[in-house]
Structure 1
């Protein structure tokens, strides 16, 4: 069975390791990026520029490395893709961390227009706060 084109969009984000060039191609410039409260930087970000600057900027300053790894993908036949996976990171002290996530993506005009994230924030917070 052929993969949904919407799953292909989402898969591109993870396989590129969130490469900014790829994000610029597949993510709508007016994306709503909704990060669960309690996760570092949790809140709602409006627009790709804000996501990169205001969410990823501060988060990546606190870690040596951080990347999302998509593991399973499901489409609902409409405009949503559900991605299950885990974040993999390394703290400034060298401590490795893996935290599970569920991302719900909404596609609009052929691009990713909304992300709603739920993640295991406790394990990441422990690495960030020592």
Structure 2
């Protein structure tokens, strides 16, 4: 599978809560680095830290939270995805915010994720 196909499969599996598939696409020691100011953000290392610590805590702030990829660019062992976050916080405020995600892939596994987004707009929805 190409790196672009791997990332498309990752987004599809995550959207559909297909944990077995999206976990299989990630390295055991994946590094997940969030933009400064992302709710419950920071840097997380390992599948357990990313998917059992970060995501449940972050998503608990929202009634809905969607990452909608719009463009996927192949850069050899890196893939850049641009798109929009759409969500509704627990306070009932909605947001649409652009993002860039950069994935590093080795041996058909995601080894690193880096997020770039306007966290201020996401934080504003929490108040």
Q: Same fold (TM over 0.5)?
A: yes
Task: Check if 1:43 corresponds to 2:36.
Answer: no
1:86 equivalent in alignment to 2:60: no
Range with bigger deviation, 87-96 or 111-120: 87-96
Query: Does residue 25 of structure 1 match 2:21?
Result: no
What is the number of equivalent residue pairs in this alignment? 125
* Unaligned 5+ runs, structure 1: none
Shift of 1:28: 1.5
Q: Does the CA contact (< 8 Å) of 2:78 and 2:104 recur in 1?
A: yes
Distance in 1 between residues matched to 2:107 and 2:65, nearest whole Å? 29
SS at match of 1:67: strand
Runs of 4+ in 1 over 4 A off after TM superposition: none
Other structure's SS at 2:40 match: coil
CA distance in 2, matches of 1:114, 1:120: 20
1:67 paired residue number: 66
Unpaired runs of at least 5, structure 2? none
Q: Distance in 2 between matches of 1:65 and 1:39?
A: 16
